[in-house]
Amino acid sequence: MPAERPPLTDWMRRDAPARQAQLRPGAMAVNDLTLARALTYRELDRAIAQTASWLSRTAPAGARIAHLARNSLAHVLLFYGCARAGHIYQPLNWRLAGAELAGMVTDAEPAVLLHDPEFAEAARQADGAAAREITGEAFLALIGAEAPAPARTIDADAPVLLLYTSGTTGRPKGAIWTHRTVYASAYNFTQVGELSPHAAMLCDTPFFHVVGLLATLAASMQAGGRVHFGDRFTPQDTLARIADPTLGVTHYFCVPQMIQTLRSAPGYDAAATLAKLRALLSGGAPMPAPLAEALHAEGVCLSNGYGMTEAGTLLGMPLDRAIQKAKIGSCGVAAPMASIRIVDKDGRDVAPGEAGEIWVGGPTVTPGYWNNPEATRAAFSADGWFKSGDAARVDKDGYFTIVDRWKDMYISGGENVYPAEVEAALLAMPGIADAGVVGVSDDKWGEVGAAFIVRASDGALDDGAVRAHCDAMLARYKRPHHVRFVAQLPRTASGKIQKQELRRLFAG
| Residues 173, 369: Cα–Cα separation, whole Å | 6
- Residue 401 is predicted with a pLDDT of 92
- Residue 155 is predicted with a pLDDT of 87
Which pTM does this prediction carry?
A: 0.83
Alpha helices in 116-251 (DSSP H): 120-127, 136-144, 179-192, 210, 219-223, 235-243
Residue type present at position 120: A
| Residues 322, 328: Cα–Cα separation, whole Å | 10
| Residues 482, 465: Cα–Cα separation, whole Å | 13
| Residues 301, 279: Cα–Cα separation, whole Å | 5
- Residue 166 is predicted with a pLDDT of 57
CB 386 within 8 A of CB 310: yes
**What torsion do the CA atoms of 231, 236, 237, 243 make, to the nearest 10 degrees?**
140
- Residue 444 is predicted with a pLDDT of 75
CB 305 within 8 A of CB 332: yes
Domains of the chain: 10-232 (3.40.50.980), 409-507 (3.30.300.30)
- Residue 33 is predicted with a pLDDT of 97
DSSP 275: G
Q: What is the DSSP string of 82-131?
A: HHHHT-EEEE--TTS-HHHHHHHHHHH--SEEEE-GGGHHHHHHHHTTTE
| Residues 100, 127: Cα–Cα separation, whole Å | 12
- Residue 1 is predicted with a pLDDT of 39
> Sign of dihedral through CA atoms 301, 260, 312, 179?
positive
10-residue mean pLDDT series, the chain (508 residues)? 52 82 98 97 98 96 96 97 96 87 93 96 91 93 94 88 72 91 96 97 95 97 98 96 98 90 94 97 83 94 94 96 93 96 93 93 97 95 94 94 78 76 86 90 83 84 90 85 92 76 87
Where does 395-474 show beta strands of DSSP type E?
400-405, 410-412, 415-417, 432-442, 446-455
Where does 41-82 show beta strands of DSSP type E?
64-68
Q: Which residues contact 449 (CB under 8 A, 6 or more apart)?
A: 410, 412, 417, 419, 422, 437, 438, 439, 440, 478, 479, 480, 481, 482
- Residue 2 is predicted with a pLDDT of 45
| Residues 429, 200: Cα–Cα separation, whole Å | 36
CA-wise closest residue to 271 among 250, 299, 311: 299
| Residues 233, 258: Cα–Cα separation, whole Å | 9
